[in-house]
Amino acid sequence: MVLEFYEREPPIPPDEFVRVGADDLRGFVSSIFRVHGVPEGDADVVADVLVTADLFGISSHGVQRVSRYIGGIRCGNVNVKPRISFHGRGAVGVVDGDNGLGHVVGVKCVEFALERVRDYGLSFILAKNSNHYGIAGYYALKFLDAGFIGFSSTNSEKLVSYVNSLGRFLGTNPIAIAIPTPHPPPILFDAATSIIPVGKIELYSKLGRSIPEGWV
């Protein structure tokens, strides 16, 4: 992944936060998940997704979400050792995540898709019984190394209101597409279909910042 080509948030002042190297942070985050029963390989996957989000400047989906994922594990809402299965025919298929961590299920979907896209020129893989999988762009970018266009999207719980309404009716439903180009950088679009990702509001709350008018 060519991180240097993508926009990042302004750095946080070092007198307020401690800076750590990306590799050190991956190891630390992975260790947290391993302590909670997640197998080492799966823990490394989750850590890489979260740290990559921070390196991209998408702090709303970075390591600040660790506590939320661990909370789901502690409550028994997430299966730390899922038996992920695949059923498909030709270029299409369905992955049953067995209620595992979404990051792990997402990477499995990419693996199954890449196996088929080489034979059929395209592939379409759906996932069920999964959980929050971080930034959609992480999975779309996995296809670039193989020379393919990657697309990743997910649904979510009801969080978004219709215009001029008060209730929650729609998910944030993020969409990501990665397109290889003859010369770097590649094209990457990754965005929620809401005015702002919910994770950004959570991040502002943790930092004690006021959110702009119109976000909620």
Residue 62 lies in a domain: yes
- The DSSP element (H or E) to which 199 belongs, if any, is helix 198-207
Residue 66 lies in a domain: yes
**How many other C-beta atoms are found inside a 10 Å radius of the C-beta of residue 195?**
12
- End-to-end, the C-alpha distance of the chain in Å comes to 33
> Do 176 and 152 form a contact (C-beta atoms < 8 A)?
yes
**How many whole angstroms separate alpha carbon 86 and alpha carbon 125?**
9
pLDDT of 199: 74
Residue 15 lies in a domain: yes
Residue 33 lies in a domain: yes
User: Looking at the 3D structure of the chain, how many domains does it have?
Assistant: 1
Query: Per 3-state DSSP, what percentage of the chain is helix, strand, and coil (rounded to 5)?
Result: 40, 15, 45
pLDDT of 102: 98
Residue 193 lies in a domain: no
Is there a cis peptide before residue 185, judged by omega within 30 degrees of 0? yes
Residue 30 lies in a domain: yes
Residue 22 lies in a domain: yes
Per-10-residue mean pLDDT of the chain, 216 residues long, equals 52 66 97 98 99 91 94 97 97 98 98 95 97 97 93 91 83 94 92 81 78 76
Q: Are strands 187-191 and 150-153 parallel, antiparallel or unpaired?
A: unpaired
Residue 168 lies in a domain: no
pLDDT of 3: 53
> Do 69 and 30 form a contact (C-beta atoms < 8 A)?
no
Contacts 24+ apart (CB under 8 A), 9-15: 9/57, 9/59
Domain limits for position 63: 8-81
**How many whole angstroms separate alpha carbon 91 and alpha carbon 118?**
10
**How many whole angstroms separate alpha carbon 196 and alpha carbon 25?**
26
Q: Which two tokens stand for residue 152?
A: 């990743």
pLDDT of 8: 53
Query: Which pTM does this prediction carry?
Result: 0.87
Backbone angles phi, psi at 95, to 5 degrees: -105, 125
> Do 129 and 167 form a contact (C-beta atoms < 8 A)?
no
Give the CATH number, domain containing residue 51. 1.10.1530.10
